Structure 1
């Protein structure tokens, strides 16, 4: 059996937490910095962009209106973490005049009654981006200047949004 056909080998290659023994310290630092970010600056938390599981987002407005917008999608291997763990991303951007949106999404594998797949999460991000394009002006953002980025699984989801047909999310 070639290594790439061996489930144990695949698990070892794709289990980032096992490869970074100190990962709990990173998560603790992110959580503390995120709590500090939410306390130190204006934010509108837990806005619903849909009716599904975890279809909420946080908006960190810039001090100016008409600001460019960063939609930052959190990582977590599609199965862990939360938008609230990534609020720390906002301050470096908001202090430079950028409005930041951090969407949440349902986590894999979901439940037997409500399974969650990566395509499901990708569709949630389409809805979050569409919500942002339609509503960000109410939070001081410019819907014509939206940038999407993410960390780890969030980077993958951001890249998937690049394949949307033009106009799928108005002005994004």
Structure 2
């Protein structure tokens, strides 16, 4: 990565930070690109070099997180992975983002993530193979991914909306306990 690319990446980071700072104080729909740029101490021109709108800034944030999450899942050894490990990775990954996710939930913007996470709407999953669907047809994989994404998104939406969300390890144990009860019936 050359200096210009690093500067562009740093500008995108500052713009994201500025947007989240502003969303703590006012409604997303009322925030202007000018305000985001000023909060980031950048010009509007710099904003528009990277993003055509503030919605695309949110899409960028969602895509970056989802890419990092998928990369983290793919770094695990699939042959030794079980559902508990998937849950641990899931909750530990999203925990550091809890404040930003909570802001999005409070602004009714977390739905952006669901649309970005959807296997049908995103090419982020194109090469992703989760351990619970290594074998199967494209249709089976699509259904399992849709089921998984919807469930995980709803858990995030419920968990991180809280002012004091439970620690990741508590969430893992809660889900395992609940799923175990369901499977026994």
TM-score, normalised via structure 1 length: 0.29
Q: Which has the larger radius of gyration?
A: 2
TM-score, normalised via structure 2 length: 0.27
Instruction: Name whichever structure is richer in strand by fraction.
Output: 1
Structure number with greater CO (CA < 8 Å, separation at least 6) is 1
